[in-house]
Chains A and B, each alone.
Chain A
Amino acid sequence: MGAIKVVIQNLPLLLQAAMMTFILSLVATAIGLVIGSLICILRHSKRRSLARAGAIYISFFRGVPLLVQLLLIYYFLPFIGIDVPSLVAAVAGLSLCTAAYLAEILRGGLLSIPVGQREAGEMLGLSKAQIWRRLLLPQAVRLMLPAIVSEVTLLLKASSLISVIGVAELTRTGQNIAASTYRPLEIYTAIGVIYLALNLLLAAGGGMMERRFGLVRQ
């Protein structure tokens, strides 16, 4: 009985922290999409050196463990004279990492559209911007949507690591409560359930978007 009580007592705090985790993940995804698009363009640049730089970026951020990336950014920014709160360092770290994965998703989505369509668009006299806006992007987004949603789910789970650099998101808040109440089993289990619920929420949101924009139409 005490187990449920200690969770209920701390529930408002936990839900507030869950909100933080959720928003942080979405913000990092949004920034990651912008950086990821740039990396994707870089990766397909005609200049070999730029394409190489894009490939190295993707390889580095997918090859190095996120925890090490986060610690590196956390200590590196002050080292070069940029003093930022740990929250900013955390969002920067998550964004840079997810950008590498998103760049690969964007690449896959764009490559899966047949070249013939682009050629047909050119033959019909569409401008380059029109081809992108009306032909390639609408189709690519539909193809990429499931992969992007699953990347957001991964990021949401990975965001638990920013607790290490002191950001008061769900895991960190749980650590504090577990330490002050001496009930780690109950609190950490509750946190696990909240992460599970957040992921279900994301999956439901993703499903809704896929039904709205995706390839499967009712």
Chain B
Amino acid sequence: MIFDLFVFAGSGTEILSGLLMTLLTWASGTALSLALGLVVSVGLVFGSRALRMLLRGYVEVIRGTPFLVQLFILYFGGPYIGLTLDPVPAGVLGLAVYGAAYFAEIFRAGFLAIPSGQIEAASILGLTRGQVVRRVQFPQMMVVILPALINMVIILSKETTILSIITVPELTFVVKGIGTRTFAFVETLLALALGYWLLVEATSAFGKALEQRIASHLTR
């Protein structure tokens, strides 16, 4: 066999649309799971006993099962309980439900990292509970949990490849298709691996810069 890098010739638009779909599912999945994770973490920290147990169950089940199986339940099992979704919305929803469980644990750790003396002091000064969370806890915990948040965002970027299995036309799906068409599996997959590697390293470098900027007052 020969190693032929011209297998991508003429597939430019196809690859571009795959890349866009990867970025779209990644961005929307991350945004949704961050929002949902924050809500869940607030419930985990401040909720009633029953709510806390319910949310704990959700987090443990999601973190104890493979993302692929969760996707299968949602995409193939969903229609049997009246939840029929196209691949893309199913993929984004799956990412959101999956990521939220991990983000919730990160946020929860952040809430617990702020000394209770500060919260007591703030409430004595007359801040409402919402104000305490928004103006005392949240700004400080963001500094503490930023590395963990960035790490999870990177993990989610890699999980988007799994959406190809439920036929979401993202980058892995498209490149696999080109491989099948041209029989040049090794060339296409090698290029794909390098592409993801680049994406992850770039995100990681961006995250490090962000950490340094936000936590600069701590390292001085």
Contact = CB atoms under 8 A, between A and B. Distances in A.
Given A79-B1, A185-B80, A188-B69, A68 B64 contact: no
Interface string A164-183: 10000001001100100000
Given A64-B196, A67-B161, A67-B172, A195 B77 contact: no
Given A59-B201, A76-B186, A185-B80, A68 B192 contact: yes
A114 interface: no
B185 interface: yes
Contacts of A118: none
Contact of B196 (A68, A75, A174): A68
B109 interface: no
A142 interface: no
Given A161-B68, A171-B68, A196-B65, A65 B158 contact: yes
Contacts of B78: 185
Given A63-B201, A192-B70, A69 B172 contact: no
Main secondary structure of the interface of B (DSSP, over half): helix
B158 A185 contact: no
Interface string A142-170: 00000000000000011111011000000
A200 B63 CA distance: 11
Interface size class of A (residues with CB under 8 A): 35 or more
Contacts of B179: 75
Interface string B98-137: 0000000000000000000000000000000000000000
Main secondary structure of the interface of A (DSSP, over half): helix
Interface in B57-71: 60-61, 64-70
B206 interface: no
Interface in A36-87: 59-60, 62-69, 71-72, 75-76, 79
A139 interface: no
B186 A199 contact: no
A132 to B, nearest CB: 32
A159 B70 CA distance: 14
A68 B161 contact: yes
Nearest to A184: B76
A178 B70 CA distance: 14
A189 interface: yes
Interface size class of B (residues with CB under 8 A): 35 or more
Interface string B166-206: 00000010001001000001100110110011001100100
A157 B66 contact: yes
A63 B162 contact: no
A106 B22 CA distance: 33
Given A76-B186, A185-B77, A68 B65 contact: no
B73 interface: yes
Nearest to B1: A79
Contacts of B185: 71, 75, 79
Nearest to B61: A196
Given A184-B77, A185-B77, A64 B186 contact: no
Given A75-B186, A191-B72, 6 more contacts: A60-B193, A63-B204, A66-B158, A75-B189, A175-B72, A192-B61
27 contacts: A64-B193, A65-B159, A65-B161, A65-B162, A67-B165, A68-B192, A69-B193, A71-B185, A72-B186, A72-B190, A75-B179, A75-B185, A75-B189, A79-B185, A157-B67, A159-B66, A164-B165, A171-B68, A174-B69, A184-B76, A184-B80, A185-B77, A188-B77, A192-B73, A195-B69, A196-B60, A196-B65
Interface of A: 59-60, 62-69, 71-72, 75-76, 79, 157-161, 163-164, 171, 174-175, 178, 184-186, 188-189, 191-192, 195-196, 199-200
Interface of B: 1, 60-61, 64-70, 72-73, 76-78, 80-81, 158-159, 161-162, 164-165, 172, 176, 179, 185-186, 189-190, 192-193, 196-197, 200-201, 204
